[in-house]
Every structure is written in C-alpha cells, then in structure tokens.
Structure 1
C-alpha cells in the first residue's frame, strides 16, 4: 500500500520500483537495522510462496511523500527497511545470474535477463562511470556503501571496518545469497531466477479496496464488509485441510504467530483468557531430537514434523526446563500436571508421526469454530 499525500493505492515491489521514480530515505530516518530475525521472517514467507504456490506476500504499508519540485522523486516516510531488503534480494538474484553467465549457461539470454532485472529493480548504468545508479537512495550513512558495493556487486575489502549498519547490509546480501543457493531447482535456470522476483497482489488489492470503501462510507455494516471480502474467504473444508498440515517454525516473528494460535485454541477449550507471553512453547518431539526418537521417526519425519502445530503445545516454563529433551513417557507425566487443557489432553501411549497428525486434525476442527466468520 502506498500513501502519497492523500493518494492510497496498492502495488507490488516490481511495479513500485520499476516506474521510473527515485525513492529517498530522509536524513532523520534511522540507519539500516534489519537483522537475521527479520531476514528469516521474509525468507520463510518467500519459501511459503514457492511451496504453496500462493504468489502473494504482503509487503506492508509503504508511506511516501511526493516532492513539490518534481514528480520523479519521493521521500520514504515509512518502509525503508523493507524496500532496502527487497532491493538486496534483487541484487542476489542478479549476482546468481552472473554465476550462470560465467559458467557459460545460456549466457546471452541470462545476460539479457540480468540487464532487464537491473533496470527494473536497481537502476540504470551511468554512461560516463559505467556504474549503476540506484532507484533507492538510502541515508548518508548507508547510501555510499549500498551504491558502490551492493548495486555494483563489489565485495568489501574488510567487512569488520564497516559501520554496524553497513555490515548488516552486507550480511543481508550474504544471508539471501546462501538461502537462494539452497533452492537447487531454481538457481540453475535463468528463467526461474527471473520469475523468482515476480509476485501478484490480488489479496492486497481486495483488502485495500475494502479499506477505501469503509473510509469513504460506501460500506458501513459488518455484513457488507464480509461480502466484499468473500472472494478471499476460505471455506471450512479448505481451512481444515490446510490447518491440518500447517507447519510454522518457532523462530523470529513466526514464534508470535504460534503463540497467538495456541492461545486462541486454549481459550476455546478452557474458556479462560490466555496471556500469550506467559507459557513456553513445548515441542513434544524436540527441536533437536536425540537418537532415542529414531525408534518412532525417520530423519525426514523429524525434520518435517517438529514444527507441525500438532507437535506444539503450551507448557509452564518451569515444567519445560525440567523435562528438556527427556523421553516422551516422562514428558507425558508432566503434561498431566499442566494448567493448560490442550496439554492435559496429550495422553497418547507413545508419540509418533500418526500421533502428531491425529492431534493436528483435532486442532484443525477446533480452529474452524474459533476463526469462522459470523456471516457465513
């Protein structure tokens, strides 16, 4: 979503950055500060787009102020961290195309793709210096490094001598380069790399239009809002099917989402308000399981199921510390002493992939009742 004075509209990163405009970070904005937790959240969203084939990532609100002197320049009031990080991700894709070219993999086509992506996401080449200019101008502390090293793909000579924020800019590049290199079915093909940066925004468009209709008082009743949102409302059947296999890593911002879901479910079964921050998130199959779990799980199953919602529950922090990595038989005894109803209900004789699947199926049925709209 973009705000330019009173203009509110929806766009995607590609359309925003490829429209010939220049976006400047004002001097009063802080230096680049995103770290691995923020990068991990963004990458998990990207991975979900790839695996679930749902080409939507909500970028959040970008607040811009237009210039009185020229319609080419905009000042970024809010959103510079996201724009800078997405631009870094674009440089990583362009860098990977350079590797394909160097390895003589479809060099002519990949060189053309590289130039198109540069012009679209980064900027044009200066005919005098033969360096690429940037469509995104960061603040005084970050802009020189961003232009000379990231936009032009030049590795710094001594990372430790960089300022903290410039170190973060370079570490972001390294982080996404490593993550992209893990996508072996994409990085060997120039066309797939180019498509990697594309996205669509139908969900954002609908939400934004509803917000505008509410603000303009074209709609003012809850049922009218729901009818506008009906195209993106998920049926109970699809919701249950998707929820029953939902997997969320308990890291970064995703951990807050897990807490929210478990708290809503616990509130549903107990009828009591739940403070999301009080309990620990217990992984019944541990995050780092030892060899005793190999009796019930293959290595692939352990990797796949440790973050399934059916494997997660609330537990008092003292109990969580006490049971640690202990066997399920010992864990189960402590679960019965918990004040959380969902945890007390874990009474299986053993804990297996089927146990996780069955518990998550039951949670999915409860979740339908928790999150069903009143207007269905």
Structure 2
C-alpha cells in the first residue's frame, strides 16, 4: 500500500523564496498560459490589500511541490501563479532600472534593484555573469525568462513561442500598472520597495510537499474530489514525456508527441481527462480505482516506445469517448437516442464497454453496435434508475465484459448482449421495483426522467410518438404537490410520499396543466377529458376517485407496461 508521505504548511511568499530555496517547473509541464483576465484579477486582489479597511492577507491557494531534499522543488501545481508573481516583481525591478537610467535617486535605487533581485529573483554569478534564478520555467519558457526578463534587457518580440509572447505581454502589462501606481518621482523607488516588502508577507499559500509523483497524484485526486481542480493531467504528461525524452531524442519526436497531446486535450474539451483516462484504461485492463490510476500507468508504461504508443492509443480513444458523450455527434444516427438516455440517467459505469464496443464494432458491424448501445441503455434504466442497485458491482461487471471484448472472448454483439444477463433485473424484479418507485420532480434529473417515462407510456398507449423535448406538454401531478382543502381525504403525512409516485403522474398539455392547478380530482378529470392525449382521457374510466389505493393500483398497471417497453428481447 502506498504511504501518503507529504506535509502541509501555510507559507507567505517571502518564506517560499527564503533560505536559498529553488523551484523548477518540470520540462513538459504546460507552458505559461495566463492572460489579461488573470493578471487583472491578481492585480485587483493586490490593490485591495493596500486599501482602507483592507484584509491583512490574501490567500493564493494550493501549491503542490515535489522534493527529495527540501531545497530544490519541482512545481507540480501552482506554476502559473508563481511565474506571474515573478514577472510582476521583474516589472517592478524594471521600474527601478528606469529610475536609475533617468538619474532619479540613482545610487539608492540601484542598491534597491540589486537587493530586491537577490531576495526574490536570484543572483548573477560574478564569474560567468550567468543568471542563477530561484525559479526555473519549463523547456519552452525558461530560456526567454532567464535570458531576457531576468536581465531586464529589451525584450525581443519576433520568433517566439505563443507562451513567450504571453510572458512578454504580462511583463509589459505589469510595467504599465506599476508605473501608473508609483510614477517616476524621487520617492518612487522607495515606495515600490516598501510596497513589495509588505506584499510578500501578505500573500500566502497552502503548500503541500510530496516526495514522488505517486504521492502528488494522490494529492490531486484528494483535492479534486473536494472541488479544488488541480492539474493531475500535467503530472501524467510530464511523466510520459520524461520517458519519451530519454536518450536525448530529436526535437521533432517530442514535437510530434506534444502535437498528439494537444490534440487529446482539444478532443476532450470540457470532459475530465482523468475520468476519460480511467474509462480508457478499464476498457482493456483490470479495473482500477481512480486513486490508483497514475500508479498503475507508471507500472505498465516504463520506456519511450510504450509512452509513444500509449499517447497514440489515448488520442484514438479520446475521439470515440467524446463522441459517446456527445449525443449530437455527426456520426450518430439511431445511437443518439440511447446515448441521450444514458446522459439523462447520469450513469458512467457502462462507458468502458461502450468504448470497447465502439472500437470493435462501429466500423465492421454498425447494426450490432447499435444493438449494444440500446441494450445498455435499457439495462441502465432497469438497474440504475428503477431498481437503484449499487454501482460498484456494476462497474466491475462492465470492466470484465470490456476486457473480454478487447481480447475477442466476446466476438459478436449478440454474445455481449447475452453477457448482460448477469446483472439484468428480470421482469418480476423490475416490476416490483417500478410498482413502488418515487421520483421527486423537484430534482432536475428526476424531472427529465419522469417526463421521458410519461412520453414513452403515452406513445405506447396511443401508438403516436411523443417527443419528450416538446414543451407543449408538462408533467401533471394528479394529487397536487400543494393540494387544497378538497384533498382532505388524504392524510397530510402521506402526501409527500404519494405525490411523487409514478402512478400519480401523467403527461398533459401545458395550457391545461396551468388550468387544473390544485383543484379536486373531479374538477381535474373534466379537463383531462378534453386532452388530446390518450392517458389523461382514459383516467376516469378506471378511477372514480383518487386515493392512495388508486395511485398504487395504477402504478402496478404501469409497471406491467414498463416491463414491455424497457425490455432487452434477447434476454426475455
């Protein structure tokens, strides 16, 4: 079992840069990416620290570092913030240089320039005149940062990477802000130095220090689960690219790998990379937990060729995965309907099987692939939505099927569907669960599902397809959510339990739904009879009054109907 070997402290920016500490952005971490939006947000926060009634400090968030000696640290998360603060300080030092060049308190401003640079940026080796910065950026950004920003020379503008342009623009942006704030007066250098001396004690971070990548990935997963989004994607990228750079490969190889990686990120868009990666891995390997994902990949991928092959396969699967998540993807025809249902149910467990099935059957057996998607949608409705069975066992089950698809043990769509029988709730189990099912329509997901169910019932009863996206129709609660005194025969303590029973709901035209409101059942029935829909019209033929018995009786009848609608015929 992996030991979580890390410690957590709160540190000011001054403390981070003290005692000769050095920080290194791993070579294949993402490039500098902040823009004016982030610069301005940071600047506004800093300005607020010096206003009247200001807070005593500003929290800069988590900083995740990796070290083996507590003197040199790899920045696993937080490089954008540290880089921007360094750029801002350098912009301030350029202000001091301008004061010196304009002979404004030149001697003391030169002393301030050298001292502040030594405190917060680094020093210049007196023999080689090479800069020894406290912060080393990644392989695309460090040369520009070290050779041009730290030296406070004129910044070149041509032949730069996009991220180098962003660094240059950030420097110029903070130059303008600081010059506007402090001007070019006799006391400008002193005022800037005092501002910076106070600022480095007002900015503080929660610093998490780990001893290796495995612990770093554990930290990412823990914090991400708590809603703090960190770049575990970058951690994995750095590991794979470090393997790929062994034996000093040609830049063209790394460039090719970077292009593939960027393609993956573009393909995934808003989808979670770690979530996709786990689905990808589980579609052909033994099930792993999210917290073991990085450890498992690191165990399997140990050399350059394996790293290149993994990135290639990830890129291919990312295309299929994002398509399976996008019901509007141009490649779908009938599949779109069932993928939309899976999205509505919010089930994730089947995606390893869907991904494996797509890769095996989409090109060679399109009809077979469609039948798999349909079967999984029906199974998810029975298993997850109605029976509310535990998802953990389901995930292991799907993982086993995905592995068998990948290894050709399940070589046809029919054999895959047959294999679903192991967790497929049979008709008796399904009808029993459906007969007592409640779905509270105050929840948006439940509301969509109930609307879909009612549309399917109406389509089955009337033999006319009803589109659940048609806003002409609403969900009508026969026993109202807020009943008036005419419903006094139903015990108040039972109203909540009955209102959201599936047997208490019908589909009704929106304009009629507004009219019926909270009226009595007898008054509602008069309006139901004028509906164009089959089920409201027929309601009073079966029920003269509306009571708990009526709801339970109707729901049992609907359960029988449901078992014929949501049915995998191959498993009947």
TM-score (norm. length: structure 1): 0.50
Structure with more relative contact order (C-alpha pairs < 8 Å, separation 6 or more): 1
Larger Rg: 2
Structure with greater proportional helix content: 2
